[in-house]
Amino acid sequence: MTLKQVQEGIVNSQVWKSIFRVGIPNTNRKRVLAVLGSLILHLHPVKVRRSGVRMSYTWCMGGTSFFLFLVETVTGLLLMFYYRPTIEYAFTDIMDLREQAPFGIMREMHRWGAHAMVIAVWLHMFRVFMTGSYKPPREFNWNVGVILLVLTLLLSFTGYLLPWDQLAIWAITVGSNMARASPGAGTEGPMSSLMKLGDVPLIHAGDDARFALIAGRSIGAATLLRFYVLHCMVIPLAAGFLMAIHFWRVRKDGGISGPL
Amino acid sequence: MTFLKNFINVLSVASISFILLSSVFAMLVYFCLLDGRVKTKGGTGFLVFGAILVVAGLFVRPLLYLAVAYFLVLWALAKIGPRLWEPKVGKWLLIAGLGGFALSMFDPNFYLIAAKPDNVPIVAMIFLLAIFTWIALRKAYLNDHAILAGGIPYEKTESDEKLFTWPDLVYTEMLCMILLTIVMVVWSVGLRAPLEEAANPTSSPNPAKAPWYFLGLQEMLVYFDPWLAGVVLPTLIIVGLMAIPYIDTNPKGNGYYAFRERKWEIGVFLYGFLVLWSFLIITGTFLRGPNWNFFGPYEYWDPNKLEPLVNVDLSELVWVKLMAMPLPKLWVIREAPGILIVLLYFALAPALAARPFRRFYLKMGGPRYYVGAFLFLFMLALPIKMVLRWLFNLKYLVHIQEIFFNI
Ligand code: HEM
Ligand code: HEM
């Protein structure tokens, strides 16, 4: 049996055909059907501009951001099996993961993936700007992108606290201290001291913007839980939803931009 | 070698490297993108600026270093000019950068900071930024010249042709994903994620740093109070980014790399993205040590380094130093000079600029022009405050401690 025969045997088997209905896409008709018939591939149109396919045009950075988001989701889910978001366990769970799990690189992959995703999203934005792709009709998609950028940063920020080591709590302390200075909404923000009812200040350490962010007067158990839920549920879902809109709009705005 | 290291250490003081970077940026545009060698008329401005630096350098030592570096870069860019966009030149510059970095890793102080696990991605980011900026500007330069010669941008020669998603696009994506997977696995096996001691709310590390992507904002805390650096400016960055498509009405340069057709937009964006955002992150990560003091790349992070705190407010400069009076009691009067300056800056400057920049005003219309000018003035506020700090040790323009309103 030659290799060719093996290949044909597999491709013509019932199992294969039940999954990939069109077989090897070696004619134009089959190429069209391959893309249309697959949920994942039909994110793409059947045909694309030659200029848009070039790696030197998009730098692949949008796709890279998306791929890294998927990496983060998979590794993040695996971490969730090991990790309990309480002050007693958070740090020791990570410690265990580090010492006990053989070949454990999920935590590494999750952390480096997070850093890489932030950089990839920046570079993607940079590319979109340099090709002028935010201009009509893509203004709205640029805005969806900006929100995705903010969500990416928030994901990284909330995740940073979870290992509950010195690096984590002090980075989040420095970051969240800024909220104290929100004009009119933080205890040390401009104008906040003017907001009072008679002698009772309306804005104090127990109800200001920082309190809302970290669920307490200082970083503690409530902060950890809050950041965990935000990090593993709320923000990934929101980001996933916006990505769906983002990709949909890329198609509806006429595909990858090109000279008019 | 030691001399070189000292040179670089002195040069990396925040505002000095900031000025250097901004002027390199301007020179890059002028000599390498607009072919400065062809029409050297405007080039004299660069020489005048350099001369000012030299004169100032006679009084302030670090400025002399700056002047030397400035002229070296000026000379190099004027010499290379548009050849910077030739692949050969780009390749050698990259090799020089990587080589310089590799050599620097032999320095123990440099190594300590650059090899910290969380800093490794930022080192990579510096090179990625340089490479992608070069790629984008090279393509823009080539397209500019094609258009100048009456032709069409390169993308246009291909954009009417359509390829099948399968195989042309999916193969590229496949390749990209395989490469990324390899990179991620190698990186994760090779570099352990950091884990310090368990959280201890009573012992704060020195320096205590925010996550790396927010270090640009933390760096701004040196010049502005948290309500500006941590709340207002980040909000304006997001709002400003979102406003870009609505402020920029130039229909040209949509869907291809170009520079000449949109030099102001690209100039402002690159200034914000590379100089304000990325450079400040790099400063905050690599050059800020204990007590948020400044350290050159080859300097030891000495926790006992003392920086004299001699900063003064504008009110003190005006009332005490200039008019030799005690500070007025009432803050409205005390802070009047600063409030006036800030108001003039935001209200009068755009109106005054509307005349020389009439072209913009007419093209954009009133509302767009004023929103754009307002955002741009905020982008300029940081370098202005940096230079004021550095020339006059100015702390606050407006200092109303009574209601935490300090600018
Ligand atoms: C785009 C997406 C994401 C980013 C940027 C991100 C970022 C981070 C970061 C920076 C950490 C700290 C890692 C460390 O110090 O080891 C972290 C931890 C964690 N993340 Fe994510 N994450 C993302 C998505 C997710 C998702 C989707 C999940 C789960 C569904 C998840 C679950 C976790 C868990 C359980 C931890 C704690 C374990 C640990 O710290 O190693 N992450 N994340
Ligand atoms: C998590 C973040 C993001 C993901 C996963 C993502 C993904 C993508 C992908 C896959 C594309 C297709 C073209 C390409 O790869 O370049 C795209 C296009 C686009 N993205 Fe994003 N993006 C993200 C963030 C952003 C940001 C931050 C911006 C801008 C501020 C943005 C603005 C756009 C625009 C305007 C297009 C259309 C470009 C064109 O037609 O040439 N996106 N995005």
Question: With contact defined as beta carbons under 8 Å apart, do A206 and A218 qualify?
Answer: no
Å between B343 CA and nearest CA of chain A: 17
What integer pLDDT is reported at residue A184 of this predicted model? 81
What integer pLDDT is reported at residue B37 of this predicted model? 58
Å between A199 CA and nearest CA of chain B: 16
Instruction: Select from A60, A130, A194 the Cβ nearest to the Cβ of B257.
Output: A130
Residue A75 lies in a domain: yes
Question: With contact defined as beta carbons under 8 Å apart, do B141 and B81 qualify?
Answer: no
Q: pLDDT grade, residue B187 (50/70/90)?
A: very high
Q: Which ligand is nearest to the CA of A98?
A: 1
A207, two tokens: 């109800």
Closest CA to B395 of B222, B251, B253: B222
Q: Is A134 in CB contact (< 8 Å) with chain B?
A: yes
Residue A61 lies in a domain: yes
Task: Give residue-wise pLDDT tens across range B136-172.
Answer: 999 999 999 999 999 999 999 988 888 998 888 999 9
Average model confidence (pLDDT) across chain B: 90
Residue A87 lies in a domain: yes
Task: Give residue-wise pLDDT tens across range B196-206.
Answer: 999 998 988 98
A226 Cβ neighbours under 8 A, 6+ residues apart: A214, A215
Task: Give residue-wise pLDDT tens across range B396-405.
Answer: 988 888 778 8
Contacts of B132 in chain A (CB under 8 A): 59, 123, 126-127
CA A247 to centroid of ligand 2, rounded, Å: 8
B404–A163 CB contact, under 8 Å: no
What integer pLDDT is reported at residue B328 of this predicted model? 85
User: Whole-angstrom Cα distance, residue B399 to residue B395?
Assistant: 9
Higher pLDDT, A151 or A22: A151
Residues of chain A with pLDDT > 70, as a percent, come to: 100
Question: With contact defined as beta carbons under 8 Å apart, do B291 and B207 qualify?
Answer: yes
Candidates B118, B134, B166, B173, partner chain A, best to mutate (most A CBs within 10 A): B166
Higher pLDDT, A255 or A197: A255
Q: Is A20 in CB contact (< 8 Å) with chain B?
A: no
CA A150 to centroid of ligand 2, rounded, Å: 13
Lowest mean pLDDT among A58-62, A100-104, A245-249: A100-104
Q: Which residues are paired to B123 by β-bridges?
A: none
Q: Which residue of B has its CA nearest to A255?
A: B255
A47–B165 CB contact, under 8 Å: yes
Question: With contact defined as beta carbons under 8 Å apart, do B14 and B294 qualify?
Answer: yes
Contacts of A63 in chain B (CB under 8 A): 173, 176
Instruction: Select from A56, A146, A182 the Cβ nearest to the Cβ of B135.
Output: A56
Lowest mean pLDDT among A85-94, A192-201, B8-17, B320-329: A192-201
Q: Is pLDDT of B129 > 60?
A: yes
Residues of chain A with pLDDT > 90, as a percent, come to: 58
Residue A17 lies in a domain: no
What integer pLDDT is reported at residue A5 of this predicted model? 92
What integer pLDDT is reported at residue B40 of this predicted model? 59
Residue A9 lies in a domain: no
Q: Is pLDDT of B313 > 70?
A: yes
HSE-CB for B372 with a 13 A CA cutoff: 22
Lowest mean pLDDT among B6-10, B103-107, B245-249: B6-10
Q: pLDDT grade, residue A60 (50/70/90)?
A: very high
Ligand 2 pocket residues where CB is under 6 Å: A 58, 61-63, 65-66, 69, 121, 124-125, 128, 131, 133-134, 138, 141-142, 145-146, 148-149, 152, 243, 246, 250, 256-257
Q: Is pLDDT of B109 > 60?
A: yes
B32 Cβ neighbours under 8 A, 6+ residues apart: B77, B80, B81, B82, B84, B85, B137, B141
B237 Cβ neighbours under 8 A, 6+ residues apart: B277
Average pLDDT over residues A95-103: 84
Question: With contact defined as beta carbons under 8 Å apart, do B227 and B234 qualify?
Answer: no
Residue A260 lies in a domain: no
Contacts of A74 in chain B (CB under 8 A): none
Task: Give residue-wise pLDDT tens across range B8-44.
Answer: 888 888 888 888 888 888 889 888 888 765 565 667 8
Task: Give residue-wise pLDDT tens across range B215-230.
Answer: 999 999 999 999 999 9
Residue A26 lies in a domain: no
Q: Is pLDDT of B85 > 70?
A: yes
Q: What are phi and psi of A45, to 5 degrees?
A: -75, 170
Task: Give residue-wise pLDDT tens across range B35-72.
Answer: 765 565 667 888 898 999 899 888 888 888 899 999 99
Residues of A numbered 86-125 whose beta carbons fall under 8 angstroms of chain B's beta carbons: which are they? 87, 91, 94-95, 98, 105, 107-113, 115-116, 118-119, 122-123, 125
Residue A39 lies in a domain: no
What integer pLDDT is reported at residue A69 of this predicted model? 98
What integer pLDDT is reported at residue B389 of this predicted model? 86
Which span out of A123-132, B343-352, B384-393 was modeled with the highest average pLDDT? A123-132
Number of domains in chain A: 1
Q: What is the CATH number of the domain that holds A229?
A: 1.20.810.10
Could you tell me the residue range of the domain that residue A207 belongs to? 57-252
Closest CA to B310 of B224, B390, B214: B390
What integer pLDDT is reported at residue B108 of this predicted model? 93
Report cis status (omega within 30 of 0) of the bond before B108.
no
Higher pLDDT, B378 or B358: B378
To the nearest 5 percent, what fractions of chain B are helix, strand and coil? Answer: 70, 5, 25
User: Whole-angstrom Cα distance, residue B212 to residue B123?
Assistant: 12
Q: Ligand 1, from A73, A124, A162, A241: best to mutate by most atoms within 8 Å of Cβ?
A: A162
Q: Which residues are paired to A165 by β-bridges?
A: B198
HSE-CB for B273 with a 13 A CA cutoff: 24
